[in-house]
Structure 1
């Protein structure tokens, strides 16, 4: 479950992480906020609403938590928890909480005011003076105050008053149930207290009002025999269910997206931080552009779907041009043109008589993509229409990958085109077009094999493009498949004894992409000799079956394709146009294309968009554009150095880069969330804040990190978070000491003046000195927010006064020498007691710190184990999918009586069963974790 994060702090700083969270929400969120005095259990109540056992915990400012709505799957539930306001406040604090109340009223769909029923009702109404200030802080109409008062209720949320800790014999519960939780009877009873102004404002400003009451959630001692003492009281549970059902039944009052809500928040906070009234008319004008932007985005999504589903439409989307410029399968651009490549770029250059090299401009663009990537690569003979097919995937009929119209091939090396994925938000479609195999004009063909290998290593979907039919000649062009063991290593370690070396390694299957064979200008009927129709996939499988009369090398290629690529698919295409028009295919209008070809192209593109999976590496870790660029560099560098690209080494190199970045992201997350007003009242408050931020930081780290051997990087994160906590504690101590010294200096200023003026050097002066000092100490103890150094600062001051006290004692002529000796001993004993008390507090702080370190260790370990369990399940799923594919393959071979291959597959299936069993048994990572 997502943890709460800060939204706004007491200095009116908005947390960027919270704005990002709101901006990422799809659909209008339901916003529920809670406000009330300190110590009334409001955070506990909101925590129960979030399904959390312990509530939100002590938090300064306003905190936010995003949850999936329990009863409305298409919506998000946003909870806002505001720190409780204290009973006694200075003017600055009063204005702060007044602004907090105003901000809740503007952001929420339901605003809960939470208080205890056993408090003085008169005091509760005085605390609700914030309601009376809303009309001054929020201006719907700038000119007419009466019009403003009449319009303001239309923008305010529903008001829900919650009475907590109601005694069991109270009539409020029965009254609320009889009146369908109406608040009016409750307000009527309070009106007798002659505090009409807050009541009047509630009735005028909040036309929709409800009230709920709750008994104490804990089970009392007298009920321990009836209910478990560690559970919530059944009466509270019943009351809470009614409250919970009501809250979750409400719809958003204003149907705006999270992105618009985040903009509103920024504008509201800006006005409140400057103590200016919020002018809703101006804010509406500012937000209008945001709403129009969102509408454009929605229109774009709709047009994408329309373009993909309606190939018969004649009108293009862009501009007012009536000529058919757009493909019926066109991927329409997003509204951010900066994120779109206008055309392909060469990613890996293959220059004559030179080694392969990375194009740095293309690499920089690829590595700027932080989204998961679906990588589709195509290989095949030159001049077979590979580039044209990739242009169809890119939604471009005209322009795009260079086609050429002669027998000369145009594409050299590997060209890349990155586009927003048409069906999957926050994903990028990366198309890789390769130079043709078998180009007779090449002066150097040694790089053909490496381009073939790189296409496999970089892609998640691998397309082999051929012409006419699948025949022996096409299989010969795939001889690179039989040579992959010479060009790719899965592991850096040498092959172990006992491993098979007479065929393709089993490990290859986990790292290789899905395989699609595209047959262009297909002229046969998909039928068998007996007249039975077959599918395109069946046609491919028949072509990959070993025949007795074919050469051994071709049989091996068939076997290796089946072994390396258990996920296989086939598409056949008619010739797109007449032979004469093929010379101008790049500029040919779609009306000149054959309908059969258009239908096949639509089917092909739709399959790629829907079924192509993101690129993953070992462990199922999803690759982003950033990581894909690093993979390309790693593999090309290995080839240039004369080494064989090793998948394991590449993954380890990526892991180092990504895990270092994950540590930095986690630390940045921690720092962005850390909103704490120093000095804190005690260490527990500081540790609680650290725990919230640390938990989110660990979650951020584990979401991005992978292959963290021996938890090396998580240990780095733990150490750095521990260092930040130590720095925070030190800063807290310094702030606490500075505040305490300032308070003591102010309090003891008069005492110091009396000492310096000799006021206590009179008969009975010593007792007056002690009385004045004790009074000041008691006043010091009542000052809030002194922090953990309060006792030490006091001890230092009183120690500094001991000599002066002794001088006053010896000068007091009313005391005998015996009385002075007794008084001196008492002073010494009191100083000793203070020292013992100080030592006790220091020991308590040491124990708190030790408990915090233990909690931190457990949190790191818990989240790590959760991630390991998720990875274990993912790996098991991959093994099981591969197992099913192997079983299907074995069944097919068994039917063909190919016993040797069946036995080989049986061995592989047994090995997979063993891997699944071992993987299922992985549990605790053991003592190596975070020691």
Structure 2
């Protein structure tokens, strides 16, 4: 097809309207859509760039509004490519309302949003023309209410952001810098002085991925403007830059809506109509409401937004899956002079992981080989986490790598590499303790990496453990600082397993003349000795209190000293055999024993939930507060439970669409279909929801499913009525013609009319598929024919007055009999509906009780685990002579035993 105007401006009113012909073209696209939209000032070559993406020398007209070009995707045969070219806005201030609406349409419709400007001038000033970005959280909402989650959730529904700087004069030094940065937009523009409200910060926060592309002049002669020559005569540098740009935009994911569900043209057309209507009325765009409405109308099923969203198909082990990454990304940035900040692109990738996650974080001093160890866990000999080869710390912040778990199908291994602690070049090390605390909060296994031996110096460097209670709160009550009123057992239920990795270990594992294991070596090093100064004893004390589950691995030096600077390049045969065996043992332990990240009570986390926790914790740190684990879990539960409701309703509708053939012959058949769909929806809700202690979200689900049942009954009755009327109209056509022709207006005509009508009714009852309204529709039909029948009766000269009265009485008796039959059917329907309501209530109670019993079982298992670990710690304290601390620990143990007794005695409490 040729380009067609999709959205045009009505000149007399200034409003936008959609071209119906373009919508029809869009609706015919049944494949997933890859939508590229371009936006920017006039005269910057937007149409020229889009023509090149279409593989044409010329195509898009230079006209107002938004023009659409639908093409086959050049790299993905199963997708359709949709290019949107938008009129340019003037360099000076123009109609800001129109520009804002055009910008919003581009952003909401596209999978890649391209901002196109000239290369000359101050880039910051050019970026400021996109001031509309700041209004996104106010105008476009994912959740019903305007909450802090809404701003964060926008990144789950907005497109990738690509900025094209055109006609840039080649600058080799700048090209080298940009190439080193990987064309990263944020690195190119941001500065330490940027505020949270700057355009660069807003783009980074709202758009999941940002890229910068620079183009020289396309003219072979180096001049400005668009060349009239064909593509093969363009400037060679421009052709190479264009190739890179195409590779990037065509490799991005297709357009998704609310929950990472790919959409087709039918859905996008309906979505566009809704958005334009809302824009014309200056109303907020509530995506959850739009998608919920379209979900019932369009073929493509969409669910609530992320971390509102959705069950995605889990990929088989070793195949591509949501969140799988070819290389690590920085998840939490730690820039000099600035607060910790989440990288929205990495966060979006983490949130796309719907599988349970096993999270392994590594911490330790800088330049101790942490990154190399994680690369081994990722199964990479080369590439991966950056190693560096100098005395400078290489990793900044927390970097993330999501890979398929090598041993657990349906699980994702999330590796977190933290910047080195104690870097002398930092100047300000206040974020070190927060980096350590975040590694503890986010991981299910924490690896502490140190060099040479576990001695006083190594333990001293682990002083961050002693600060954890100042950096982390378990309970929401009380202020910040050390949580004196909370036992270490409460922290243990949240904290990860602890693994100490000792690198370049040269000692013999012997103690008092006998060979010992690595674990025994660690426990001996953590043994506390009477009379030792308390300050020196604190790391041991807190490490044992908060990480009772411990493991130790020692590693020989991997290679000769002269080769350590190029360790990543060395083949395995050049590495120490002992080191390789130790590394294999370490990886095997992590793969087999590192637990899935879970909340107290055993609720397993997915990547989506882990991303939400990261947002909560980082936001708390940035606000100057102490991260509270209980508050974070409650906030996460609210988000997840809202998603669970929407997801369950979507499953109900999906199952109903598969199994419903309306009308059903009986009400019981319909209610059985509803019950089956409700049962599966409730199972989905129970699987995802947690901490719904007052059962308010389950009540929301029940109310919505009750509403779905009422809607289903109405649809069934309407389908039955339509079917019955169609049958009656067909069967009565000949009868109607005879009445109109006067065929019954003869002596004996009334009896003939009755005979023909009875025959028609008999044939009506023989027709199948009429549904539950058959009798009622027939009654209404016969009642509508009574006037004509009475006229024929009165006109029949062969009947006496007495016979007419008898016939009239007979007709009334038949009508009364049919009326009684209808009342009985209505009473039966009412009783069946009441029985189904009771069944529904019992189904909810049964599944809720089973879930609460499972939660109680998991809670008891968790409490028993903590109790066993604490008992072992008490035994160690007694052996070491710390009877006072052992007695103090007895209070925690008794508290745990009391909680376990209450858990065993408690009965499930159903509130609705």
- Checking the alignment, whether the CA contact within 8 Å between 2:322 and 2:353 is kept in structure 1 is no
Aligned to 1:656: 638
Unaligned 5+ segments in structure 2 are 1-315
Q: 2:468 aligns with which of 474, 484, 490?
A: 484
After superposition, the CA RMSD in angstroms is 2.3
Residue in 2 that maps onto 1:665: 647
1:775 corresponds to which residue? 759
Cα offset, 1:504, TM superposition: 4.8
Select the residue among 794, 817, 823 that pairs with 2:801.
Answer: 817
Report whether the alignment pairs 1:807 with 2:791.
Answer: yes
What are the residue-to-residue correspondences of 1:745-760 with 2, within 5 Å? 745-760=729-744
Quick one: structure 1 residues 733 and 333, their matched pair in 2 at CA, closer, same or farther if it must change by over 3 Å?
A: closer
Match of 1:911 in 2: 895
Distance 2:486 2:421 in 1: 25
Question: Conserved in 2, the CA contact under 8 Å of 1:467 and 1:520?
Answer: yes
Q: 2:719 aligns with which of 707, 720, 735?
A: 735
Asked if 1 retains the 8 angstrom alpha-carbon contact of 2:323 and 2:352, the reply is: no
Q: 1:688 aligns with which of 672, 680, 700?
A: 672
Q: 1:913 to 1:338 in 2, by over 3 A?
A: closer
TM-score if structure 1 supplies the norm length? Answer: 0.61
Per-residue CA deviation, residues 150-179 of structure 1 (Å, 9 max, x unaligned), is: xxxxxxxxxxxxxxxxxxxxxxxxxxxxxx
Aligned position for 2:845: 861
Q: Does 1:559 align with 2:541?
A: yes
Are the equivalent residues in 1 in contact too, given 2:318–2:404 (CA < 8 A)? yes
1:790 deviates by: 0.9
1:360 to 339, 344, 349: 344
Counterparts in 2 of 1:428-507, with a 5 A limit?
A: 428-494=412-478, 501=484, 504-507=487-490
Larger Rg: 1
> In structure 1, what is the equivalent of residue 122 of structure 2?
none
CA, structure 1 residues 584+748, in 2 after alignment: closer, same or farther (shift >3 Å)? closer
The CA distance in 1 between the partners of 2:353 and 2:451, in whole Å, is 35
What secondary structure sits across from 2:498 in the alignment? strand
Aligned equivalent of 2:626: 644
Aligned length: 595
**Correspondence for 1:520:** 503
Q: Output the CA distance in 2 between the equivalents of 1:822 and 1:487.
A: 95
Deviation at 1:458, TM superposition (A): 0.5
Cα displacement (A) at 1:348: 0.7
Give distance in 2, aligned partners of 1:776 and 1:338: 61
Pairwise CA distance, 1:866 = 1.3
1:396 equivalent to 2:396? Answer no
Q: Which residue of 1 aligns with 2:571?
A: 589
Structure 1 contact 652–707 (Cα < 8 Å) conserved: yes
Match of 2:881, SS state, is coil
Q: How far off its partner does 1:503 sit?
A: 7.4
The equivalent of 1:242 in structure 2 is none
Maintained 8 Å contact 1:460/1:612: yes
> Cα distance, 1:482 vs. partner?
1.5
Answer yes or no: is the 8 Å Cα contact 1:382–1:409 preserved in 2: yes
Aligned mate of 2:696, from 708, 712, 736: 712
Deviates more, 1:642-651 or 1:454-463: 642-651
Are 1:831 and 2:815 matched, yes or no?
yes
1:629 aligned counterpart, secondary structure: helix
Change (3 A) 1:746 1:582: closer
The residue that corresponds to 1:550 in the other structure is: 532
SS in 2 for 1:584: helix
Counterpart of 1:507 in 2: which secondary structure?
A: helix
Q: Which residue of structure 1 lines up, in the alignment, with residue 242 of structure 2?
A: none
How far 1:640 moved relative to its partner?
0.6
1:575 CA drift (Å): 1.9
Distance 1:840 1:603 in 2: 75
1:99-149 Cα deviation digits (max 9, x unpaired): xxxxxxxxxxxxxxxxxxxxxxxxxxxxxxxxxxxxxxxxxxxxxxxxxxx
> Is 1:887 matched up with 2:871?
yes
SS in 2 for 1:645: coil
Residue of structure 2 in register with 1:628 after alignment: 610
User: Are 1:504 and 1:560, in contact at CA under 8 Å, matched by a contact in 2?
Assistant: no
Q: Is the 8 A contact 1:504 1:563 kept in 2?
A: no
Q: State which of 598, 601, 613 in structure 2 corresponds to 1:619.
A: 601
- Residue in 2 that maps onto 1:511: 494
CA gap 1:701/1:451 in 2 versus in 1, 3 angstroms: same
Q: Secondary structure at the match of 2:427?
A: coil
TM-score (norm 2): 0.63
CA distance in 1, matches of 2:781, 2:343: 70
Counterpart of 2:448 in 1: which secondary structure?
Answer: strand
Does residue 605 in structure 1 map to residue 568 in structure 2? no
SS in 2 for 1:819: helix
* Further displaced range: 352-361 or 402-411: 402-411
Change (3 A) 1:783 1:333: closer
Superimposed CA distance per residue, residues 612-658 of structure 1 (whole angstroms, 9 cap, x where no aligned partner): 11111232111111221221111111111111111122112222222
SS at match of 2:414: strand
| Distance (Å, rounded) in 1 between the aligned partners of 2:903 and 2:378 | 40
Superposition map of 1:182-201 within 5 A:
none
1:326-384 deviation line (CA, Å, top 9, x unaligned): xxxxxx99354996423221111111110000111211221122221111111111112
Q: Which residue of 2 aligns with 1:313?
A: none
**Structure-1 separation of matches of 2:747 and 2:713:** 47
Q: Is the 8 A contact 2:455 2:525 kept in 1?
A: yes
Q: Distance in 2 between matches of 1:428 and 1:476?
A: 34
Contact 2:487–2:892 under 8 Å retained in 1? no
The alpha-carbon deviation at position 500 of structure 1 amounts to 8.5
> Secondary structure of the residue that 2:423 maps to in structure 1?
coil
